Chains A and B, each alone.
Chain A
Amino acid sequence: MEQTFDLTLIWAGIIGFGIMMYVLMDGFDLGQGILYPFAPDEKARDKMMNSVAPVWDGNETWLVLGGAGLLAAFPLVYSIFLPALYIGVFLLLAGLIFRGVAFEFRFKAKTSKYLWSWSFSVGSFVASFAQGAVVGAYIQGFETEGFAYSGGPLDWLTPFTVLTGFGLVIGYALLGSTWLIMKTDGEVQQWAYKITPKLLMGLMAVFAAVCVYTPFVDSSVMTRWFDGISLIWALPALALFCAVIVLRAVKKQQDGMPFVATMGIFLFSYLGLLASKWPYIVPPKFTIYDAASAYNSQLFLLLGFLFVIPIVLAYTSWTYWVFRGKVGDAGYH
């Protein structure tokens, strides 16, 4: 077949975009669960859950879309990551199931509400930690033989991945608290203003530790960053700049800016990570081209994705538009 387009590159773009969308969007609602035990009172918890209730499941759409797309476009990623992260994947799914169910049942519960609050909180924490550990494992790379994973069941669990796991938990909590600043007022908003700088400091500390640690975990990253000063240094600089904006915006008690700037931190860190690893998708051996599926399979599915992604985007924007503004005591008005 005539290979007119570099479909693999297009697919890398789609999957990369999907992951970013997922992290930003599910991040702030996972963050609500992480912050749940620390909320001032039960009324605040109601408000927190109400603020994300209309959009959370649409946010998770991106995870499923990304996962399915991965099997179709980069099967090697699917067939190496999942066995290597076997136990982590189980925890991720269990966490997401528990919190998803909690969303539905906490609204329908009268006497068993506390049970669903815990389910929501623990599920969110476990799922976030597992996702952070996946990022760490990706930086570490995988032991492979032929086209299959050949390491042990807990190879992924190292001090480094625990660090990235907690890093993402704190990061999601920060997305969650700045989301609350934007979507609530009164007591809950004041609480969110109070905790945001602490979370930001925590995130920056982990960020610094990961930056120091990474070259020891993967030496190729070192060469990329230190062999001559390149443009990629702009990325961490921009992430830091966004962090400063978050702090200033919180001080000035601005509504929307803290959340927007936090998304900026995530975006530039993510791009920085990709810049460190490109074009390796299953480090240390396989590039996106090694991991790609057949041309006609990528083409066959691309048609469907080109059709459905605009619809998902339109539906998502519409939902956010409908539920714009501050959340009241009894949900959106």
Chain B
Amino acid sequence: MELDPLVLSRIQFAFVVCFHAIFPVFTIGLASTIAGFETLYFKTENPIWQRLSKFWIQVFAVVFGIGVVSGIVMSFQFGTNWSNFSYATANFLGPVLSYEVITAFFLEAAFLGVLLFGRDKVPQGVHLFAAIMVATGTFISSFWILSANSLLQTPDGLELINGMYHVKSWADALFTASFGYRFTHMALASFLTAALVVAGVSAWFILQKRELEANKKALSVALWFLLFLAPLQTVVGDFHGLNTMKYQPTKVAAMEGNWETSTGVPLLLFAIPDKEEQKNHFEIKIPKLASYVLTHDWDGEVPGLKAVPVEEQPPVFIVFWSFRVMVGLGLLMVVFGFWGLIFRRGGKIYTSPAFLQGLRMMSISPFLAVLAGWVVTEAGRAPWLIYGQMTHAEGLTPSLTGGMALFSLIGYITVYALVFSAGIYYLLKVFKGGLEKANAPHEMDEIERPARPFSAGHVAIDGDL
């Protein structure tokens, strides 16, 4: 079999970006959670909020540390595997990605150290301010990244001169048609991730009867967030979908598994889309619902895949099913939100083992949903790297051979497997240590060290707990 550098590069990019994406989506939400805990502590002076904050700051530090490492690989991949694309878009992507780096550095230099290590060294108000600035900074960082991604989805404000895009209007290029929807969708996803992880971990601690008072408070707050954010996310997701239908109709066609542009299109609950035969197998459908969801009219017209030649169709099966995984998990989150509301009566949210165990399981759901969502939007853009303008094949590094791509793919998988299993293993130890360890005198007899995020973890990586 011939090794195809294009396929291998796409697999490598998907692997690295999927690995990377789960960390920032968590840190963005968690930074705001911590700022929230710190604000509550500042206002009420109830030490419980401080205990919670101390624990979640440790988690934040470790996750942030891992995310930074995988982010560095991301920034070099554009050049190694997609050099034609990098060169063509450098006038825009270069400054935008650089601004993300600048934001992160500024944040780390100025505020992260104070948040992680400065609690006893600065006034409480300054510490709170640092927490709020870190939370703000994570949003500014994601602004640059999502702006860059949105430009690839709905390009605007650029002009192609001699094979290189020039920025005609920075405002148009930074705020393209899909940016607002994408940013809101991701921000909510980050909050939901934090809410579900805090809820799941607190539920787990409550099941173990550990630090009940603090963990019950955390669970209660997390469930309120879940109750309001999960339904809100479905609404925002719907608007995002409408925006996609306007600018990237083929992507929506793939999400719906709809081959012919037609009216009164059914919503498919199940199907096996087959790109070769250009049709679905084993459809289970609800009549006219897709038309209603997408056009808010039972007989509205929904775009079909066949409107474009086969080679311009995205991988339908992947997009179709990723979309269903994302929506399914999202609806499950809504269910848990309302389940929590009902169980508040009589305090059953703290006592029902079924509910608490369920929440524990749910703590992984936001990560799966986020990954599925990114697969929908990225695979759904295929074969376009810049929608309607440059394909993946055109963006690829011309000198790249299949062998080289295979080498680096295996290499990255190996490095990530080793390094991240150590990181995640350590994260689990921090979880096991719980609020007790985070608030106890430090186990590790640390020498004086600088403000490295990871150093905020005070648990040994090996040895018994």
Contact = CB atoms under 8 A, between A and B. Distances in A.
Interface stretch (A95-103, A163-171, A195-203): A95-103
B91 interface: yes
Interface in A103-155: 104-105, 107-112, 145, 147-153
Given A55-B450, A104-B65, A147-B87, A93 B76 contact: yes
A192 interface: no
A89 B91 CA distance: 23
A312 B109 contact: yes
A311 B106 contact: yes
A85 to B, nearest CB: 8
A42 interface: no
Interface stretch (A29-37, A60-68, A253-261): A60-68
Contacts of A312: 105, 109
A83 B79 contact: yes
A221 interface: no
A323 B451 CA distance: 12
Interface string B103-114: 001100110000
B163 interface: yes
A100 B109 contact: no
Nearest to B412: A90
A93 B73 contact: yes
Interface stretch (A2-10, A240-248, A294-302): A294-302
Given A53-B449, A67-B75, A93-B72, A304 B99 contact: yes
Given A78-B79, A79-B84, A108-B444, A293 B94 contact: yes
A80 interface: yes
A89 B444 contact: no
A150 B170 CA distance: 33
A268 to B, nearest CB: 29
A90 B83 contact: no
A317 to B, nearest CB: 12
A308 B105 contact: yes
Contact of A86 (B105, B408, B448): B408
Nearest to B403: A153
B401 interface: yes
B447 interface: yes
A109 B79 CA distance: 36
Nearest to A309: B102
A44 B454 CA distance: 24
Interface in A266-310: 293-294, 296-297, 300-301, 304-305, 307-308
Contact of A108 (B75, B408, B411, B461): B461
B166 interface: yes
Given A72-B95, A104-B65, A148-B87, A86 B404 contact: yes
Interface stretch (A19-27, A210-218, A222-230, A325-333): A325-333
A84 interface: yes
Majority secondary structure of chain A interface residues (helix, strand, loop or mixed)? helix
B80 A315 contact: no
A83 B415 contact: no
Nearest to A315: B109
Nearest to B89: A75
Q: How large is the interface on B (under 10, 10 to 19, 20 to 34, 35 or more residues)?
A: 35 or more
A297 B87 CA distance: 13
Contact of B83 (A79, A110, A332): A79
A222 B391 CA distance: 44
Given A76-B87, A112-B461, A304-B99, A150 B94 contact: no
A301 B99 contact: yes
Interface string A168-196: 00000000000000000000000000000
A90 B415 CA distance: 10
Contact of B415 (A75, A98, A150): A98
Given A109-B460, A150-B398, A64 B84 contact: no
A220 interface: no
Contacts of A111: 462-463
A58 B453 CA distance: 12
Contacts of A148: 83-84, 87, 397-399
B75 A64 contact: yes
A153 B170 CA distance: 37
A94 interface: yes
A89 B81 CA distance: 11
A57 B72 CA distance: 13
Contacts of A90: 80, 407-408, 411-412
B213 interface: no
Interface string B162-197: 011011001000000000000000000000000000
Contacts of A304: 95, 98-99, 102
Nearest to B444: A108
B69 interface: yes
B399 A331 contact: no
A53 B451 CA distance: 10
22 contacts: A50-B447, A71-B78, A71-B93, A73-B94, A78-B79, A78-B83, A83-B80, A87-B407, A89-B79, A90-B80, A90-B412, A93-B76, A101-B422, A101-B423, A107-B446, A107-B455, A111-B462, A145-B398, A301-B95, A307-B102, A312-B109, A331-B448
Given A68-B97, A148-B87, A333-B448, 11 more contacts: A57-B450, A78-B90, A90-B412, A97-B419, A107-B446, A112-B461, A145-B398, A148-B84, A150-B399, A294-B166, A296-B167
Interface of A: 50, 53-55, 57-58, 61, 64-65, 67-69, 71-73, 75-76, 78-84, 86-87, 89-90, 93-94, 96-98, 100-101, 104-105, 107-112, 145, 147-153, 293-294, 296-297, 300-301, 304-305, 307-308, 311-312, 315, 319, 322-323, 330-333
Report, nearest first, the 4 A-B pairs whose CB atoms are least far apart.
A331-B447, A72-B94, A75-B90, A82-B79
